[in-house]
Amino acid sequence: MKNLLPASERNIRFAAEVIRRGGLVAFPTETVYGLGADALNPKAVARVYEVKGRPRFDPLIVHISSADHLSLVVDDVPEDARRLIKEFWPGPLTLVLKKSDRVPPITTAGLPTVAVRMPDHPVALKLIEYSGRPIAAPSANPFGYVSPTSAEQVAETLGERVDVILDAGPTRIGVESTILAVSEGKVLLLRPGGLPVEEVERVLGKRVELPRDGRTVAPGMLKKHYSPRTPLFLIGDWNDYFRLRARYGRVLLLSPKPIWGVEGEVVHLSQRGDVREVAQNLFGILYRIDKLDYPAVAVLPVEEEGLGRAVMNRLRKASVR
Ligand code: AMP
Ligand code: MG
């Protein structure tokens, strides 16, 4: 594919020029690959929605590389946000703050707030810096489908509709950023992600308000998402697994830790039972499942703490109910 380029210095500079001219660049971050456009150019942002097939009510995250960029997109940074930025940027933490007038409505889906983060990836940071623009970027996958953790996955699903795809290998964290809404004195979790909520609470010295179970708290946070085409079932116990086998015949089992003695086929999401490894492998394995032709997939749960919250959130949304 002509548009799939290794993320060399020269190709990053070329991609930055594409951004400046209103084009689309898929690029690696530490979480997943993003589909980027100049966040301040409404026409370029419109193309992001179009290429992804993303509904216009689902706002984008604006990626920045400097404090100057932050003051371009928000006028005022509350104290809690300042502390989080100091501690966790660059990193997998997105903050939803009141937007400045310079951010066009299409980028924030008409909301008075903007979601902003500084990614912890040299290629992403250079791309933003060289283009001189904040870059609006959702995950680089067709809407509702599994997020990409490799450049090949972007190339296979979005193909030539993206001007450039910068390839820097698989992503380190593998699930999207944690999203927090920060307003005067209040911090609300909009989406669990790569930064554990426990770490946020440690730094702020107070509790983060958690969404009530199953509630849609952020716009665009649909119940179903991240879904492979193969029906996926999050199982509670072995009875669930045997029921699925009775119903579907062949069932691929995904396990977050090594298990033995199961008769059917098993894929280990982690060889060590380490939730970070599970997060890293999750989307890549969900993506490959669709090529394997199983009638159904069963997944064993992980503990709902730390990164496990993000993993369970993605698995629930990917699963059939
Ligand atoms: P994605 O870019 O696909 O990882 O998703 C970005 C998500 O961030 C959206 O689906 C929203 O749920 C959330 N988000 C972005 N901007 C805002 C905002 N201004 N207010 C609340 N949530 C937001
Ligand atoms: Mg996404």
pLDDT in tens, 281-307: 999 999 999 999 899 999 999 999 999
Checking if the pLDDT of 213 tops 60, the result is no
Numbered ranges of CATH 3.40.50.11030 in the chain: 232-318
Say yes or no: CB of residue 143 within 6 Å of ligand 1.
Answer: no
Mean pLDDT of 229-233: 93
Kindly state the tokens that stand for 22: 């209103």
Centre of ligand 1 to C-alpha 138, Å, is 8
For residue range 132-187, list pLDDT tens digits in order.
Answer: 999 999 999 999 999 999 999 999 999 999 999 999 999 999 999 999 999 888 89
Q: Identify whether the C-beta of residue 20 lies closer than 8 Å to the C-beta of residue 131.
A: yes
CATH number of 4-204: 3.90.870.10
Question: What is the model's pTM?
Answer: 0.94
Numbered ranges of CATH 3.90.870.10 in the chain: 4-204
Checking if the pLDDT of 214 tops 70, the result is no
Query: 182-207 burial string, b = 16+ CB within 10 Å, else e?
Result: beeeebbbbbbbbbbbebbeeebeee
Q: Give the CATH number of domain 232-318; options: 1.10.1040.10, 3.40.50.720, 3.40.50.300, 3.40.50.11030.
A: 3.40.50.11030
For residue range 32-69, list pLDDT tens digits in order.
Answer: 999 999 999 999 999 999 999 999 999 999 999 999 99
**What is the pLDDT, as a whole number, of residue 122?**
98
Centre of ligand 1 to C-alpha 117, Å, is 11
- Distance CA(82)–CA(85), nearest Å, equals 5
Q: Please, which residues have CB less than 5 A from ligand 2, an ion?
A: 139
Say yes or no: CB of residue 190 within 6 Å of ligand 1.
Answer: yes
CA 115 to ligand 1: nearest atom: 16
CA 94 to ligand 1: nearest atom: 8
**What is the pLDDT, as a whole number, of residue 321?**
63
- Distance CA(36)–CA(237), nearest Å, equals 41
